[in-house]
Chains A and B, each alone.
Chain A
Amino acid sequence: MEKIRYFFRRTLLSMRQSPLLCTATIGTVAVALMLLAFFGLIVMNIQNLAREWSRDIQVVVYIDQVPSEEKLKEWIDQIEHYPNVEKVHYISQQQAFERFRKRLGQNADLLDGLMPEILPAALEISLSEQARSRAGTEQLVKLLKSNNNFHKFRYGQEWLQRYDAFIFLLRLIGSMAGGFLIFATLFIISNTIKLTIYARREELEIMGLIGATPMFIKAPFMAEGALQGAIGALLALGGCHLLYYFFLKKGLTALLTTTAAANIHFLPLSYQLGMVLLGLILGFIASLLPLRKFVRL
């Protein structure tokens, strides 16, 4: 109890004793983590957006001969039991024709005098989220091919390939840049804390000389580092929120439609808590590194 009280007092006193260094450390943590948080925010939103697009991923089966009502029902039933199928939707020749007419818009008169039968009926199959990729769709098409009635498919092969590549790239860049940022943050904080410790190396030496255990000497500094890291992380979240509000929300609303901007979200609470924890751990480790060098009995 006496120990905890002592550590707590020393931590606060030391932060008050060198307000400049303390502010510098917190500021460094805040800026570094703000970059990290903002970067994470952007990656997360792009990922959300990509998930939104992936709703359009579907496999379309064209049906040459319009089947009987029963046959159709049987097919749909069968397909719905395939793995990773979310929904099966039948588009009759009439519906396809209407859709086409709508898409042509002003040029709809091109279709005048034509019969709906020029377009094939189709089954539109949408996939569950984890299967919305090239591998997922191809697996489904393989299954569909086992039914001899299906031989014409469309599933945006090229587009899917690019989508897959994009997601892969996003993840790769995200984790690489994120990892790099974390390391850079650790390095920078560690160097700032090293200054704090260097400024007080005499105290560290004297504490050791009068019989303090290494742990006793280090504990207040580690607590200080962790506290500064956590405070810095809170400031970083605040700063990131401002960036998010003014650049992403306001800025993009001016450029894009309101609905597009409405799809942009701030980091969820769990990420925010994670951020504070990250700051705490970074501060802790960052003070551990220089302490190992300066506390020697």
Chain B
Amino acid sequence: MNIKLKIWRQPNAKSKGRFETYPLNDVSSEMSFLEMLDYLNNSLIKDGKEPVAFEHDCREGICGSCGMYISGRPHGPQHRTTTCELRMREFKDGQTITIEPWRAAAFPVIKDLIVDRNAFDKIMQSGGFISINAGAAQDANSILVPKKNADEAFDSASCVGCGACVAACKNSSAMLFISAKVTHLAQFPQGRIEAEIRVKNMVAKMDELGFGGCTNTRACEAECPKGISISNIAKLNREFFVAKLKD
């Protein structure tokens, strides 16, 4: 198939970027979206041009680094799919595909399609952990976790921190991300110990870093490649208000 790509080019964080259009011929419908970009970059390099910078690592949907806004949607048109898992058969021959970086004040562009998602790390550092004295692993059955909690924790833990929820939200809110982390850790006896301080710190950090508030539009849930549900946000709200009422 032959396609046209309209890609955001920005040499560095300080410069003003713009869109460039590249025709690309003989694209295989079996290619992943990132392979298609590799293919484009090969031809750009051959022509002596600067290749398009994009972030990627695992290329199997588990690292969360490959986020980009494709044809008006985070990670492209396919439901519950990261960009690396997206195949070119989802597009039509002759189609113009627009590729933009995540747009959010909290995620500034570093280069081309790469944004700085450090804000997520800062939120995690503010409370997304369990403090334990690491030693020898203890017996697996010494702390019992009900199956229901284990399942919910597992669902929430599948968040890969890609930032699609922020990119999709009209308020650039990080609520889905935080709610996944808070719900995940709140399910375990070990996690309950710091549950209140965790939720307060993570929400405060989110507000401080310039993410917006939640308007419950459900755009995050619709675009999350891991299917994180906004029921996590309801749980986050519960945890937050209960913790805050005691202050």
Do A and B come together as binding partners? no
Chain B residues with a Cβ under 8 A of chain A: none
Chain A residues with a Cβ under 8 A of chain B: none
